[in-house]
Structure formats: structure tokens, C-alpha cells
Amino acid sequence: VKELSGLIEPGLFRIHESGDFHSQFAVDVWTALAALRDDVTFWFYTRSFNFDFSRLVALDNVTGWASTDQYNQEQAKQFIEKFPSVRHAYGPLETTDSVPDNTVMCPVTTGKLDLDAACTKCRLCTDKRMKKHIGFIKH
């Protein structure tokens, strides 16, 4: 793990740009990597609600999001109850959908922020102090 940690540059790092955690082993490896790199802010979205994320989300430099849609709302709710620092990432939402309570919309999907380096500029999803959920408009 230590050798792998040197491949990650300081700054922001989204775990699984595409895909999800496929095993507890994967969650544990990312936990070990993130623990070694306090100069990196990690964030992730997941639908893998059956794994133990307690050590990963306890790290100050990691923010977790439960990818929540019409098909998994109850499982996502239970996941967040189990790991209170995790918030909902709602979507994809239609422009006509009502915004869930305590939710801020991603400024890229609403057209308020250009996609180029958006996460670096916005940082809503990377801020561990964020107490609101995030919503994503279907695009």
C-alpha cells in the first residue's frame, strides 16, 4: 500500500471515478492509502452499502456519499444512519424533480459552473464539514 500511495499526487482525489467498491478488501485498501496521505483530500460515491466503511469515513481527509436514487432510497438511508458523516448524493434528478430537503445542487449540473476543473473550484463534495446532501441533475 505504501508504494501505491506514492502514485497519488497531493490535492484532490476521487476514489472510483467510474465504478464502486467491489469488496471489503477494496474498502480496507483505500482506508490504508488515505491514512498514509493526509496531504490528499479523498472523496467517494458508493452504492456498496453492505461493506464496513467506518474506518474510511472516520479519516479527516475522506468524505463519503451514498449514491441515492428511486431504487435504493431505503438502503441508502440505512447506510447513512450507520455512518453519520456520509451524506446522500441524489441523482440523476430531472430538472422538474423537487429538490430533497437539506440538499444543494451540483453547480455543474445546474449550469452555474463550467465542467473544466469544476470539483477543484467548487469543493462541495470534498468538504468533510458539508452537512447538506448533494443533488445531481440528469445530463
Per-residue pLDDT of the chain (139 residues; tens, 9 = 90+): 888 899 999 999 999 998 999 999 999 999 999 999 999 999 999 999 999 999 999 999 999 999 999 999 999 999 999 999 999 999 999 999 999 999 999 999 999 999 898 999 999 999 998 999 999 999 7
Phi, psi of 138 (to 5 degrees): -60, 135
DSSP 18: S
- Condensed to tens digits (0 to 9), the pLDDT of residues 96-130 reads 999 999 999 999 999 999 989 899 999 999 999 89
Residue 137 has what pLDDT? 95
What region does 51 belong to: left with phi over 0, alpha with psi -120 to 50, or beta?
beta
Residue 29 has what pLDDT? 97
